[in-house]
Amino acid sequence: MNILSFDDLLKLCEKENKSIYEIAQENEANMAECSVSKVRFKTFENLKAMKDAVKNGLKSNEKSISNWCGDDCDRVQKSFQNRDSLFGKVFENIIVYSLATAEENLRMGRIVACPTAGSCGIVPSVIISVSEEKNISEEIQIDALITAGIIGLIISNKVQLAGAVAGCQAECGVASAMAAGSVVQMLGGTPKQIIEAVTLALKNILGLTCDPVCGLVEVPCIKRNSFLGVHAVTAAELALSGVKSKIPADEVVDTLKITGQLMSPLLKETAQGGLSKTKTAIELENKLFKNN
Amino acid sequence: MEEKSIFSVISPIMAGPSSSHTAGAVRLGLMARNIYNNEFKKVKFVLYNSFATTGFGHGTDKGLLAGVLGYSVDNSSIKNIFKEVNGVEYSYDYVQDISRHPNSVDIIFDNCMTISGDSIGAGEIRINKINGFDSNINGKYDTLMLMYKDKPGMISHVSEIIQIEGVNIASLHCDRASKGGQATMYIALDLPIDIGVVEKVKQIEDVFFVTYIRKLK
Ligand code: SF4
C-alpha cells in the first residue's frame, strides 16, 4: 500500500496501535514480498555503510578532485579537542560526523545517499551521535532509520527529491526532516511527535536554494550537512517538548513543492545563479577549467 | 502510482559524490558492458552537456570507465580506476549538444558498437540508442535484443519461443531502418531465460545478431 500522507500514516498508527517504524517495515515487507526481518537486515546494511563512511571520513583529510574541500572535518575535530565549544558532545559530533561523511562523498568514497548523495551526511551524523550519547541499541537505531525512510518516502511521493526539481529544500531540507523524526523515535517519542518534528524541520528550510559552485556537490553542500544536522535536533527537541506546528505536516510538504515550482530555474542545480554566480565562484570556476 | 520503497530514499550505497553524475555514470558503463558482452581493447566515451562540463569534478569520467570494466557503484576504488586499468585503451570527448539530455553519453567499443544513454536522476539510467537504433533499456529487466531483417511474423516467432519457456514478457519494443530493412527488437523479461532460448532465437532465419542483456543488480 502506498502511504501518501502523514495524516494517513498517523491514522494507521492510531488504528493499529503501532509505531511509525512498525507500520513502515510491515508495509515494505508486503510490497517487496519479503519478511520484516529481511527489511530490517537491509536497513542494518545501510546503517553499517553509513558508519563505515563516518569512520573513513574521520581518518582522512584528502582533498576533493577540485581541491577546494576535504579538510574541514579534520580541522573541526582538532579544534573541538583543544577548546571548549559552546556545544555539548552530541552537537559537536553531529558537526564532525556530517563533515566526515560529506567529505568522504566528494573524494569518491563509499557513502549512502540519504535521500541524495549531496545530503548524505545529515541522517547518519544525527542517528550515530544521538545513539552514542544516549547509549541506544543497534535495534533502535534500525527503528530510527526505518522511520527516517518512511518520512522521506512520503515526501517523495509528492515531490521529487532533487535539487534540480525543488532546490535544496528537497535534498538537505528533507534529510533534516528525516533525521528529526529519527531522533524522536530514538528518544521514545510518539508518532504524533515524530510527525511534528518533521513539520517543524521542513517549515524552517522552505525556500532553500540549490546553487552549488561550478555545479559540484561541494560549496555550499558539505557544510550545509552540518547545519541541517543541528537543525534536525532543534526540531526534535521542540516536538518532544510538546510544541506543535500551526500548519500541519502535509500542508507544509505541499508548500515545499509549490515553493520549488516558484523558485527560478537559476536556483535549481543549474549553477546559473545564487552563490555559483558570485565573483569568487566565477574565479574558482575559471581556475578549475584552466587546470583541467 | 507505482509503489515506492523506503530504500528509494535510503540508498544506493555508492561511491560519491553524485548519484546522477557518478553512480549513474557507473551504471551506464555497466549496462553498456552487459550489452556489448564481449572482450574489448578500446573504449571511447563522448560526454554531453552537464556530463561534459561538471563531469570532471564529479568523477563521471572515472565512473563510466569503472562501469565498462565491471566495477559496482559502491566500489571505493573507482576513484583510482585510471591506475587500475590495464590493457584497455580509453579516451574521452566532450560535446555540447542541446538536442541531447543534460547528462548523456555515447560509449563506443572497439569502433564497432555505439551505445547511447542518459543518467536520468537518483542513479537511474536509460539506454536509448544502440548503433543508432532506438532502444529503451533501464537496467531493471533482463532483456533479449535482436537485430534482423524486417519481415512479417518475426515478433510472434520470437515471443512464441519465449512463451514456451514460461517466461512472461514485460514489454516489447521494435525499431527498423526501413520496411524490409534492418530492424531491432528489445524484449524485457520478468524472469531470466536459459541460454538455450538465446540459441533458438539465433537459429531463426534472417536474424543476424542476438544478445541477452542482464539487468543491473
Ligand atoms: S545545494 Fe544542491 S547539490 Fe548541494 S546538497 Fe543542496 S541540493 Fe544537493
Confidence check: pLDDT of B1 > 70 = no
Q: Which residue of A has its CA nearest to B79?
A: A108
Confidence check: pLDDT of A89 > 80 = yes
Q: Which residue of A has its CA nearest to B7?
A: A149
Read off the pTM.
0.91
Region A28-49: mean pLDDT is 97
DSSP A2: -
Range of the domain at B148: 142-213
Last residue of a domain, one of B89, B109, B131: B131
Q: B167 and B68: one domain?
A: no
Considering the domain boundaries, does residue B149 fall inside one?
A: yes
Confidence check: pLDDT of B142 > 90 = yes
Percentage of residues of chain A with pLDDT beyond 70? 100
- Asked if residue A221 lies in contact with residue A172, where contact means CB atoms within 8 angstroms, the answer is yes
Grid cell, residue A78, equals 582538532
Which of A165, A210, A218, A226, when mutated, tests ligand 1's pocket best, judged by the most ligand atoms within 8 Å of its CB? Answer: A210
Q: Which atom of ligand 1 is nearest to the CA of A269?
A: 2
Facing B50 at nearest CB: one of A106, A178, A215: A215
Q: B127 and B159: one domain?
A: no
Considering the domain boundaries, does residue B44 fall inside one?
A: yes
Range with lowest mean pLDDT among A62-71, A121-130, A228-237, A244-253:
A62-71
Q: B121 and B149: one domain?
A: no
Last residue of a domain, one of B131, B157, B186: B131
Task: Look up residue A235 and give its amino acid.
Answer: A
Q: What pLDDT was estimated at residue A25?
A: 98
Q: What gap in Å lies between CA B36 and CA B106, rounded to an integer?
A: 13
Region A81-85: mean pLDDT is 95
Mutate to test the interface with A, among B10, B77, B82 (most CBs of A within 10 A): B10
Q: B81 and B153: one domain?
A: no
Considering the domain boundaries, does residue B113 fall inside one?
A: yes
Q: What is the pLDDT of residues A212-238, one digit of tens each?
A: 999 899 999 999 999 999 999 999 999
Task: Look up residue A177 and give its amino acid.
Answer: A
Q: How far is the CA of B68 from the centre of ligand 1 (A)?
A: 28
Q: What pLDDT was estimated at residue A111?
A: 97
The residues, any chain, with a CB within 8 Å of residue A5's CB and separated by 6 or more, are: A154, A249, A250, A253
Instruction: State if residue A210 touches ligand 1 by the CB under 6 angstroms criterion.
Output: yes
Q: B123 and B150: one domain?
A: no
Q: Which residue of A has its CA nearest to B74?
A: A110
Helix (H/G/I), strand (E/B), else coil: A269: coil
Q: What gap in Å lies between CA A24 and CA A47, rounded to an integer?
A: 17
Instruction: State if residue A194 touches ligand 1 by the CB under 6 angstroms criterion.
Output: no
Q: How close, in Å, is residue B37 to chain A by CA atoms?
A: 27
Total domains in the fold of chain B: 2
Q: B115 and B195: one domain?
A: no
Q: B150 and B107: one domain?
A: no
Considering the domain boundaries, does residue B136 fall inside one?
A: no
Region A153-175: mean pLDDT is 94
Q: B53 and B34: one domain?
A: yes
Q: How far is the CA of B178 from the centre of ligand 1 (A)?
A: 46
A279 pLDDT band, cuts 50/70/90, is very high
Q: What pLDDT was estimated at residue B35?
A: 93
Q: What is the pLDDT of residues B32-77, one digit of tens each?
A: 999 998 999 999 999 999 899 888 889 999 999 999 999 999 999 9
Q: B115 and B200: one domain?
A: no
Q: What gap in Å lies between CA A114 and CA B159, rounded to an integer?
A: 41
Grid cell, residue B174, equals 521494435
Instruction: State if residue A118 touches ligand 1 by the CB under 6 angstroms criterion.
Output: yes
Q: B79 and B115: one domain?
A: yes
Considering the domain boundaries, does residue B76 fall inside one?
A: yes
Considering the domain boundaries, does residue B137 fall inside one?
A: no
Q: Whose CA is nearest to atom 3 of ligand 1?
A: A217
Beta bridge partners of B47: B94, B105
CATH number (domain holding residue B123): 3.30.1330.90
Instruction: State if residue A173 touches ligand 1 by the CB under 6 angstroms criterion.
Output: no
Q: What gap in Å lies between CA B56 and CA A212, rounded to an integer?
A: 15
Q: What gap in Å lies between CA A28 and CA A17, rounded to an integer?
A: 18
Name the CATH code of domain A6-291 (choices 1.10.4100, 2.10.70, 1.10.3470, 2.50.20).
1.10.4100
User: Is residue B17 within 8 angstroms of chain A, CB to CB?
Assistant: yes
Counted across chains A and B, CB pairs separated by less than 8 A come out at 140
Last residue of a domain, one of B89, B104, B131: B131
Q: B17 and B83: one domain?
A: yes
Q: What is the pLDDT of residues B19-30, one digit of tens each?
A: 889 999 999 999
Long-range CB contact pairs, A281-287, < 8 A, 24+? A281/A213, A281/A214, A281/A219, A284/A68, A284/A213, A284/A214, A285/A213, A285/A214
Exposure string of B94-127, with b = 16+ CB inside 10 Å and e = fewer, is: eeeeeebbbbbbbbbbeeebbbbbbbbbbbbbbb
Q: How close, in Å, is residue B200 to chain A by CA atoms?
A: 33
Considering the domain boundaries, does residue B1 fall inside one?
A: no
- Asked if residue A107 lies in contact with residue A62, where contact means CB atoms within 8 angstroms, the answer is yes
Q: B70 and B121: one domain?
A: yes
- Which of B23, B3, B21 lies closest to B13 in space, CA to CA? B23
